[in-house]
């Protein structure tokens, strides 16, 4: 009874609040405590302030659901926002109105959110101009919505750990992930051999074909990897391994590395720790390190290297050499099943969910 009254008062306050600001009332996915997203997220209405000075009022169009978004809501991520917080980290949006000191952006521009943890799972927001980046209209909506996290992660990991030359080989697990799909395509565009490892599944051959069309040189199940001799016969031993799974799978891809090779860990989808064989360390002098794009982006704000990365990625997208991730658009109001599936321990989801704020 009390909780019912509490909710009615909250709704009335929100409505009054909406009328007092920009006359736009945003719908937003908000959480007041950490927990499983399907349990703690609530669809609420929030006032949107009129843009002042360097602020920009945007209408969000689409925003992906990434594993790190789920970790953040669970409270299992290094970024802890003051509560209540709006979920979501990246998005594509359209500029509606700008403050008087805004220099570049104009109403109608299409933008992506480049600063972390601003809360993108909402229909409207006022952000600062420097938190947004103009994005080409030639890129489809889903590719634009997912431009800022996964493609830069793949790009940086291929560029920054090992100097790779044409014909060098890269191995990765979780090779059907959104990051993995970009890795295969960048490898193809840059003349690298890309070997992907995925978990076995009934439609493995279909998945293998899909990843090979993207650019994978070979796709193996975990079981096939244990027995393969392709690195003795057909391909050079990989100089770089990319690990987003952990556990035995990570040890198995590390075993394939060439002497002085590097394994970069960027995710832990199995929730199992990374184990390293002693001989890989002693006899092959293999190195193990980690990567977090959030730190890289923060450390490279307004740098030529960051600008070049987005120019390169945009060009590849416009040329069709990089395709948007396999995905399903989900109306914002129908978020529950999608947030639950994204980090379900069973995995085998096969697509990225993207919240569609236009319907
Ligand atoms: C997680 C994680 C990456 C954290 O991984 P850790 O290996 O550091 O996990 P912990 O040492 O904290 O785990 C302790 C414990 O919690 C362990 O169980 P026991 O063996 O029984 O002790 C884990 O299995 C369990 N655990 C860890 N995470 C979870 C969990 N139980 C339930 N739910 C969760 N989430 O490994 C993780 O969530 N991985 C999947 C998503 C992922 O890869 N996140 C990487 C985030 S980096 C990123 O995406 C950056 C984007 C810009 C959180
Ligand atoms: P995604 O598209 O949702 O793909 C998830 C991948 O994880 C799939 O390959 C899936 O394979 C696999 N997977 C799911 N559950 C699993 C389990 N229990 N055991 C083994 N594999 C499992 O994810 P994404 O957005 O590309 O992200 C991939 C990983 O990169 C995540 O760990 C994410 O947190 C991380 N990431 C890190 C950074 C960084 O900067 N460090 C940046 C971006 C992403 P199946 O089909 O076999 O389930």
Contact at 8 Å (CB) between 146 and 354? yes
Percent of the residues in the chain that have a pLDDT greater than 70, as a whole number? 94
pLDDT at 208 over 80: yes
Yes or no: say if 91 and 358 are a contact pair by the CB < 8 Å rule.
no
Cα–Cα distance measured from residue 318 to residue 299, given in angstroms and rounded to the nearest whole number:
27
Percentages (nearest 5) of helix, strand, coil residues in the chain = 35, 25, 40
Return d(Cα 68, Cα 65) in angstroms, integer.
Answer: 8
pLDDT in tens, 126-151: 999 999 999 999 999 999 999 999 99
Question: Quick check: is 275 in a domain?
Answer: yes
Residue 21: per-residue pLDDT: 64
Q: Residues 157, 266: contact at Cβ < 8 Å?
A: yes
Where helices occur in 256-290 by DSSP H, the ranges are: 278-282
Domain boundary among 274, 294, 314: 294
Residues 159, 142 share a domain: no
Closest by CA to 310, choosing from 293, 328, 290, 295, is 293
Give the whole-angstrom CA distance, residue 144 versus residue 110.
Answer: 9
Q: What is the tally of structural domains in the chain?
A: 2
- Ligand in nearest proximity to the CA of 291: 2
Q: Is the pLDDT of residue 9 over 50?
A: no
Is residue 311 assigned to a domain?
A: no
Residues 134 and 11 in one domain: yes
Between residues 5 and 113, the one the model is more confident about: 113
Cα separation, 41 vs 32, in Å, equals 8
Residue 22 has a pLDDT of: 78
The answer to whether residues 166 and 257 belong to one domain is: yes
pLDDT digits (tens, 9 = 90+) for 241-275: 999 999 999 999 999 999 999 999 999 999 999 99
Q: Could you tell me if residue 324 is left (phi over 0), alpha (psi between -120 and 50 degrees) or otherwise beta?
A: beta
Same-domain status, 233 and 336? no
The answer to whether the CB of 37 is under 6 A from ligand 1 is: no
Chain segment 94-110, per-residue pLDDT in tens: 999 999 999 999 999 99
- Residue ID of nearest Cα to ligand 2 atom 20: 270
Report which of residues 79 and 11 the model is more confident about. Answer: 79
Residue 299 inside a domain? The answer is no
Q: State which of 89, 174, 220 you would mutate to test the pocket of ligand 2, scoring each by most atoms of that ligand within 8 A of its C-beta.
A: 174
Share of the chain above pLDDT 90, in %: 92
> Which pLDDT tens digit goes with each residue over 57-104?
999 999 999 999 999 999 999 999 999 999 999 999 999 999 999 999
Q: With respect to residue 7, please indicate whether it lies within any of the assigned structural domains.
A: yes
Question: Is 214 domain-assigned?
Answer: yes
pLDDT band at 170 (very low <50, low <70, confident <90, very high): very high
Q: Specify whether 140 is located in the same domain as 8.
A: yes
| Protein residue closest via CA to atom 32 of ligand 1 | 271
For ligand 2, is residue 61 a contact (CB within 6 Å)? no
Band (pLDDT 50/70/90 cuts) for residue 16 is very low
State which of 279, 294, 309 marks the end of a domain: 294
Residue 267: which CATH number? 3.40.50.720
CA distance 132 to 92: 9
CATH number at residue 336: 3.90.180.10
The DSSP bridge partners found for residue 274 are: 247
Q: Does residue 89 belong to any structural domain of this protein?
A: yes
Give the domain range for residue 270.
Answer: 150-294
Residues 352 and 229 in one domain: no
pLDDT at position 338:
98
Pocket test for ligand 1, best of 70, 71, 149 (most atoms within 8 A of CB): 71
Query: Three-state SS for 127?
Result: strand
DSSP letters along 95-126, please?
A: EEEE-TT--S--TT-EEEE-STTS--SBSEEE
Same domain, 96 and 164: no
* Burial of 212 from C-beta contacts in 10 A (0-12 / 13-18 / 19+): middle
291's tokens: 């990567």
Cβ–ligand 2 contact at 265 (below 6 Å): no
Say if residue 7's pLDDT is above 80.
no
Give 222's DSSP letter: H
36 and 95 together in one domain = yes
Half-sphere exposure of 213 (CA within 13 A, CB side): 8
Question: pLDDT band at residue 1, thresholds of 50, 70 and 90?
Answer: very low
β-partners of residue 287 are 262
Kindly tell me if the per-residue pLDDT of 6 is higher than 80: no
Ligand nearest to the CA of 116: 1
Q: Among the atoms of ligand 1, which is closest to the Cα of residue 293? A: 52
Give the confidence band of 357 by pLDDT, cuts at 50, 70, 90.
very high
Provide the annotated active-site residues.
Answer: 77
Q: Which residue has the tokens 């659901």?
A: 65
Distance 68 CA to ligand 2 centre (A): 10
Residue 336 shares a structural domain with residue 249: no
> What atom of ligand 1 comes closest to residue 271's alpha carbon?
36
User: Are residue 102 and residue 192 in the same domain, yes or no?
Assistant: no
Quickly tell me which residue has 């799978």 as its tokens: 249
Are 180 and 224 in the same domain? Answer: yes
HEC per residue, 335-356: HHHHHHHHCCCCCCCCCEEEEE
| Among candidate residues 251, 274, 294, the one where a domain is terminated | 294
Do 125 and 230 share a structural domain? no
Q: Is residue 163 part of a domain?
A: yes
Position 305 in a domain: no
């Amino acid at each position: 009874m009390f909780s019912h009254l509490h909710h009615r008062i909250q709704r009335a306050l929100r409505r009054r609040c909406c009328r007092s600001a920009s006359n736009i009332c945003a719908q937003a996915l908000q959480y007041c405590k950490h927990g499983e997203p399907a349990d703690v997220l609530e669809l609420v209405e929030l006032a949107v302030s009129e843009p002042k000075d360097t602020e920009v009022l945007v209408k969000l169009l689409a925003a992906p659901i990434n594993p790190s978004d789920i970790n953040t809501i669970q409270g299992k991520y290094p970024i802890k926002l003051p509560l209540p917080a709006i979920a979501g980290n990246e998005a594509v949006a359209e500029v509606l109105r700008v403050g008087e000191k805004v220099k570049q952006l104009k109403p109608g521009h299409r933008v992506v959110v480049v600063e972390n943890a601003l809360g993108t799972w909402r229909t409207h927001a006022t952000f600062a101009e420097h938190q947004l980046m103009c994005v080409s209209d030639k890129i489809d909506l889903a590719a634009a919505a997912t431009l800022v996290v996964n493609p830069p992660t793949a790009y940086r990991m291929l560029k920054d750990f090992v100097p790779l030359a044409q014909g060098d080989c890269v191995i990765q697990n979780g090779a059907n992930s959104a990051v993995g799909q970009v890795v295969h395509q960048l490898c193809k565009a840059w003349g690298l051999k890309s070997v992907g490892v995925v978990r076995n599944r009934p439609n493995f051959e279909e998945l293998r074909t899909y990843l090979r069309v993207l650019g994978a040189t070979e796709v193996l199940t975990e079981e096939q990897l244990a027995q393969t001799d392709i690195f003795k016969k057909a391909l050079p031993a990989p100089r770089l391994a990319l690990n987003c799974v952990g556990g035995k799978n990570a040890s198995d891809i590390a075993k394939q590395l060439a002497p002085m090779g590097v394994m970069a860990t960027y995710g832990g989808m199995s929730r199992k720790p990374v184990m390293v064989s002693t001989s890989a360390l002693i006899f092959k002098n293999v190195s193990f390190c980690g990567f977090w794009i959030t730190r890289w982006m923060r450390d490279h704000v307004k740098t030529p290297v960051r600008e070049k990365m987005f120019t390169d990625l945009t060009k590849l997208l416009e040329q069709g050499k990089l395709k948007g991730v396999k995905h399903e658009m989900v109306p914002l109001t129908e978020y529950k099943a999608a947030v639950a599936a994204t980090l379900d321990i069973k995995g085998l989801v096969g697509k990225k969910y993207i919240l569609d704020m236009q319907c």
